[in-house]
Chains A and B, each alone.
Chain A
Amino acid sequence: MIRVALLVAAKDLRIERRSRVLLWQVLPFGVMALVLSGLALGPTHAGHSSAGPGLFYLVMLLVALLMINRSQVIEGSPGTRASVATLGLDPAGVFLGKALALAVELWLTGLVLLGGSVLVLHTALVGTLSALPSVVVTLAALAGAGTLYGALSGGGQGPATLLPVLALPAFAPLLIAGERSFSAALHGGALWQWWLISLVALVAYLGVGILLYGVLEES
C-alpha cells in the first residue's frame, strides 16, 4: 500500500510540475482572492488581523476545490481509467498517494498564502508562524477529505459543480477548527484543542478513504 501510495503521489506531483497548473493558475487565483479580501476589509489593521484566519481558510477552500478537481481530472479520461485499472493498483494506496500529492500542493499554496496574510491582512508574523503546525494538519485533513469527496463526485468524470455541494458539509468542521486554531495562535486561546480536532479529522478521513476508495472507484 505504501509503495503504491508513493508511486501515485510522485506521479501526480510530476504531472503538476510538468503542467504548472498550480503555479500559473491556482496560485495566482489564491493570491488575487486574498488581496481582494484585504481590499474588501479596508485599511483598518485591527479588523484585518481578526478576520485574517477566516479569510485565509476561505481562500484555501476555494483553492482546494480547484486542486481537488484537478487531481481527479488527471485520471478522468476513460482510456486512462481503464488502462490504470488493469494495472491492479491497491485502491487504498491510490487514495493515500493522491491525498499525499494534494496535501503537498495545499501545503505549498498555504505557505504562500500565509505569507500573503502577513502582508495583506496584517496577521502577526510570530502568531502566524506558531499557527503553522495546525495549518499543516488542517490542510492535510482537507486533502484527505477532498480526495475522498473528489472520487464521490465522479472522479473527474462527473460535473465539477457537484464537488463543492458534496464536500462543503465535510469541509466545514475542518475549516472552523483551522480558523479557531489560527486565531488562538494570533490572539491567545485553546490552540491545541482545535489542532487536535483537525488531527482526529485527518486520521478519520484517511481511515475512511483507505476503506472506501476502492468502492467509490468501482461505482
Chain B
Amino acid sequence: MVALRDAVVLVGGFPLLSGVNLELSPRSLNVVTGANGAGKTSLLRLLGGLVTLTSGTGVVSGVDLRGDLRELRRRVGWLGHEGSFYDDLSASENLVFAAKALARPTADVPSVLERVGLSARTSTPARQLSAGQRRRLGLAWLLLRRPELWLLDEPYASLDDDGRTFFDQLIGDVVADGATVVVSAHDPLRSSALAPRTITLAGGLVVSDRS
C-alpha cells in the first residue's frame, strides 16, 4: 500500500521529512506518534499527495509520488484536526457536495450521518457543531468516499471519552472492511483491541517502529 525510500520533503528549504523509510501493508492500522514538529502531519500529507516529494522515492496505493498526485488524492481520504469541510454549509449539504463531486448517489448521505451519530444535526451549519461533532462529520465525509487509504491527522484532539471510543470502533470497522488507516497522534491508541503498528517520528525521521 505504501513504500517510501529515503523520502525527503523540503518546504522553503526547511526539512519536514529528512529521509523516511517506511512500508505499510494493505488492511492495516498504523499510528504515527511523535512530539510537535516531529513530522507526523507532513508524513500524512506526503502520503495523501498534498505535498511534493523533494528527493527519494515513494509509491502510495499504486501511484508514484513523483507522478500524478491528483490521481493519488482520489484514492485517499483526509481528516484534518482543523476541520475539513465548508463551515457555512450544513452537515447534510457538505456531504451532498462531496457525493456529487464523486458522482456518488446522494441517497447514501442520511445513512452515513446516522452511522456517525449526526442524524439530529443534518441541517446544522458545520460551524455550529461541537469539536466532537465536527470530527464525526469529517468521518462521515470519509465514509461516503470509502477511500483505500484513510489519513487521520490527530483525530483524537478535543474528543471526550465517548468520542474516542466511537472513533476507535469505527477505525476498527474500516480496517476490517479492507481499508488502510494511518492515524497521527501524540499518544498510542487507547484501545488495545485494535493492536496497531506504532511508528514514532523525531526530527522528520522514523526512530521507532513496532507492531
Contact: B101 with A80, CB < 8 Å? no
- Contact between chains at A82 and B70 (CB < 8 Å): no
Cα-based distance from A4 to B73 in the complex (angstroms): 17
Is the beta-carbon distance between B74 and A79 smaller than 8 angstroms?
A: no
Report whether A82 and B100 are in contact in the complex, using a CB–CB cutoff of 8 Å: no
Cβ-based interface call for A77 (8 A)? yes
B80 touches A88 (CB 8 A): no
Q: Is the CB of A83 within 8 A of B97?
A: no
Instruction: Output the nearest chain B residue to A12 by Cβ-Cβ distance.
Output: B86
* Interface 9-residue window, one of A14-22, A142-150, A181-189: A14-22
- Of the four ranges (under 10, 10 to 19, 20 to 34, 35 or more), the interface on chain A belongs to 20 to 34
Q: Across the interface, which residues of B come within 8 angstroms of A15, CB to CB?
A: 86, 88-89
**Contact A82–B88 (Cβ < 8 Å):** no
Check A89 for interface membership: any CB of B closer than 8 A. yes
> How many chain-B residues does the 8 Å CB contact rule pick out?
34
Q: Report the bound CA distance from A7 to B138 in whole Å.
A: 20
Interface flag for A45 (CB, 8 Å)? no
Q: In the complex where A79-B80, A80-B83 touch, is A86 in contact with B48 (Cβ < 8 A)?
A: yes
Given A82-B45, A85-B50, A88-B73, are A18 and B125 also a contact pair (CB < 8 Å)? yes
Taking a contact as CB atoms closer than 8 A, the residue among B69, B78, B89 that contacts A82 in the complex is B78
Taking a contact as CB atoms under 8 Å apart, the answer to whether B101 and A79 are in contact is no
Q: Mark A79-119, 1 if CB is under 8 A from B, else 0.
A: 11011011111000000000000000000000000000000
Q: Are A82 and B93 in contact (CB under 8 A)?
A: no
Contact, CB under 8 Å: B101 / A89: yes
Taken together as a complex, chains A and B put the C-alpha atoms of A55 and B145 apart, in Å, by: 49
Interface flag for A74 (CB, 8 Å): yes
Residues of chain B lying within 8 A (CB to CB) of residue A14: 89, 93
In the bound complex, residues from chain B placing their C-beta under 8 Å from that of A85 are 49-50, 73, 78
Total A-B residue contacts, Cβ distance less than 8 Å:
72
Contact (A87, B147) CB under 8 Å given A15-B88, A77-B82, A80-B85: no
| A residues near B98, Cβ cutoff 8 Å | 87
Please determine whether A80 and B86 come into contact, CB atoms closer than 8 angstroms: yes
Give the docked Cα–Cα distance between A85 and B69 (Å). 10
Given A7-B97, A7-B100: A83 in contact with B84 (beta carbons within 8 A): yes
| Complex CA distance for A11 and B94, rounded to whole angstroms | 9
Q: Which of B63-94 contact A (CB under 8 A)?
A: 69-71, 73-74, 76-89, 93
Contact between chains at B84 and A87 (CB < 8 Å): no
A78 near B: Cβ within 8 Å?
Answer: yes
Please give, as numbers and ranges, the residues of chain B lying within 8 Å of A80 by CB-CB distance: 83-86
Known: A86-B76, A87-B102, A88-B73. A79 touches B86 (CB 8 A): no
> For the complex, what is the distance from the CA of A218 to the CA of B70, rounded to whole Å?
10
Query: Could you mark each residue 27-66 of chain B with 1 if its beta carbon is under 8 Å from any beta carbon of chain A, else 0?
Result: 0000000000000000001001110000000000000000
- Using a CB–CB cutoff of 8 Å, the interface residues on chain A facing chain B are 4, 7, 11, 14-15, 18-19, 74, 77-80, 82-83, 85-89, 218
Known: A14-B89, A80-B85, A82-B45; 12 extra A-B contacts, CB below 8 A, are A15-B89, A74-B88, A77-B87, A79-B83, A80-B83, A82-B48, A82-B50, A82-B84, A83-B79, A85-B50, A88-B73, A89-B101
Q: What are 27 A-to-B residue pairs whose CB atoms are below 8 Å?
A: A7-B97, A7-B100, A7-B101, A11-B89, A11-B97, A15-B88, A74-B86, A74-B88, A77-B87, A79-B78, A82-B50, A82-B78, A82-B80, A83-B79, A83-B84, A83-B138, A85-B73, A86-B74, A86-B78, A86-B145, A87-B101, A87-B102, A87-B145, A88-B70, A88-B71, A88-B73, A218-B69
